[in-house]
Amino acid sequence: MARGYFRSAGRLAPRRVGRQAIRLCFTPARRPGVAAPARELLDRAERLSVMAGGRRMRVYRWPARPGPSAKTVLLVHGWTSCAARLTPWVEPLLHRGFGVVACDLPAHGDSEGTRTNGLEMATAVGAVAEAVGPLHGIVSHSAGAFAAAMAVAGGHLLGRPPIAVERLVMIAAVDNPRLHVTAFASVVGLPGAAYREMLGVTEKTFGHPMEAFSLSRIPGGWRQPTLLIHDPADPEVPYSQAEAVAAARPNAILLPVDGLGHHRIARDPTVIAAAIDFLSSHRPGAECGGE
């Protein structure tokens, strides 16, 4: 029904429909229910509340085992996801001596809000990092990877200081945030004039065309060692997105992983093990697999 409406009404009233479409595009669906193993881990966590953009976020913390060198890793989920989806990382990270923090980004999970966008998500990542830091690493997925990297490198675009972190793991990463708007317009069959209205609204809202916020185009970028993990056949975020980020970052490693698609790759045990090896390495440019 929605596709029929946007296709038909978009031809008759492209300006009005384009504005309706952008509101819906930036309204993430909240997935109902949490699987029992994830719920058990969330129930064990210390729960914090962090404010970002006037909205309260739900934050979970699992402290590291006591020790002088305990370091913290932040988990950042993707669009229409939540902290519960990344709980398979918690026990492996704790086992390797890390403390773990995860959050529901604005308008996701148990956090406040109904609409959000990549820059608001990046600001939220920065607020969480400020509340729980210092951070050793950030593990992020999809649009969450865009938000995490923007929080690290794009502070001047967010109006806040960049966050400090030693290593980044970016899974199925989005480089150009226009990808989200284009994919939404395609799914709902939005006519060209209404799609152009969508892009016009985003440019007025953010002050620049969306592609100006591409991670690969951030002036100066970031120099932290970065592991990009991506399925070359990812049906939602093209592999070329990760290639663009890797080409622009001098300390980035791009690891292709076949057959895991866009969602399973963020919970696969072999991916988790490779990423934790990378986080655990002491060598600045160490490849995944550790020492």
Q: Is the distance from CB of 215 to CB of 236 less than 8 angstroms?
A: no
Higher pLDDT, 273 or 290: 273
For 8, residues 6+ apart whose C-beta sits below 8 A from its C-beta are none
Domain layout of the chain by residue ranges: 1-30+178-213, 43-176+219-280
Q: What is the pLDDT of residue 282?
A: 67
Amino acid letter, residue 11:
R
Q: What is the pLDDT of residue 3?
A: 77
Q: At residue 51, what are phi and psi to the nearest 5 degrees?
A: -90, 135
Across the chain, what does the average pLDDT equal?
Answer: 91
The whole-angstrom separation of Cα 136 and Cα 145 is 16
For 61, residues 6+ apart whose C-beta sits below 8 A from its C-beta are 45, 46, 47, 48, 99, 100, 101, 132
Per 3-state DSSP, what percentage of the chain is helix, strand, and coil (rounded to 5)?
45, 20, 35
Q: What is the DSSP letter of 198?
A: H
* Among the listed residues 110, 67, 69, 64, the one whose alpha carbon sits nearest the alpha carbon of residue 91: 64
User: DSSP string covering 116-130, please?
Assistant: --HHHHHHHHHHHHH
Q: What is the pLDDT of residue 67?
A: 61
For 254, residues 6+ apart whose C-beta sits below 8 A from its C-beta are 228, 230, 242, 243, 246
In tens, the pLDDT along 210-252 reads 998 999 998 888 999 999 999 999 999 999 999 999 999 989 9
Q: Is the distance from CB of 192 to CB of 17 less than 8 angstroms?
A: no
For the record, the structure tokens of 91 come out as 């026990």
Residue 8 scores a pLDDT above 60: yes
Domain spanning 43-176+219-280: CATH superfamily: Alpha/Beta hydrolase fold, catalytic domain (3.40.50.1820)
Helix (H, G, I), strand (E, B) or coil at 168: strand
Q: What is the pLDDT of residue 69?
A: 62
Q: What is the pLDDT of residue 32?
A: 75
The residue assigned the tokens 């069959």 is 189
Q: Residue 290 — pLDDT band, cuts 50, 70, 90?
A: very low
Q: What is the pLDDT of residue 144?
A: 97
Neighbour-count burial of 90, counting CB atoms closer than 10 A to its CB (0-12 exposed, 13-18 middle, 19+ buried): buried
Residue 287 scores a pLDDT above 60: no
In tens, the pLDDT along 31-57 reads 777 889 999 999 999 999 999 989 999
In tens, the pLDDT along 87-140 reads 999 999 999 999 999 999 999 999 999 999 999 999 999 999 999 989 999 999
Q: What is the pLDDT of residue 231?
A: 98
pTM value > 0.75: yes
- As a whole number, mean pLDDT of residues 64-69 equals 69
Q: At residue 69, what are phi and psi to the nearest 5 degrees?
A: -115, 25
Residue 288 scores a pLDDT above 50: no
* Among the listed residues 153, 172, 174, the one whose alpha carbon sits nearest the alpha carbon of residue 251: 153
Is residue 271 within a helix (H) or strand (E), and if so which, with residue range? Answer: helix 269-280
The whole-angstrom separation of Cα 111 and Cα 119 is 16
CA 280-73-263 angle, to 5 degrees, is: 95
* Among the listed residues 121, 142, 110, the one whose alpha carbon sits nearest the alpha carbon of residue 32: 110
* Among the listed residues 170, 149, 161, the one whose alpha carbon sits nearest the alpha carbon of residue 221: 149
Q: Is 128 left (phi over 0), alpha (psi -120 to 50) or beta?
A: alpha
- As a whole number, mean pLDDT of residues 157-170 equals 89
Q: Residue 259 — pLDDT band, cuts 50, 70, 90?
A: very high
Q: What is the DSSP letter of 81?
A: -
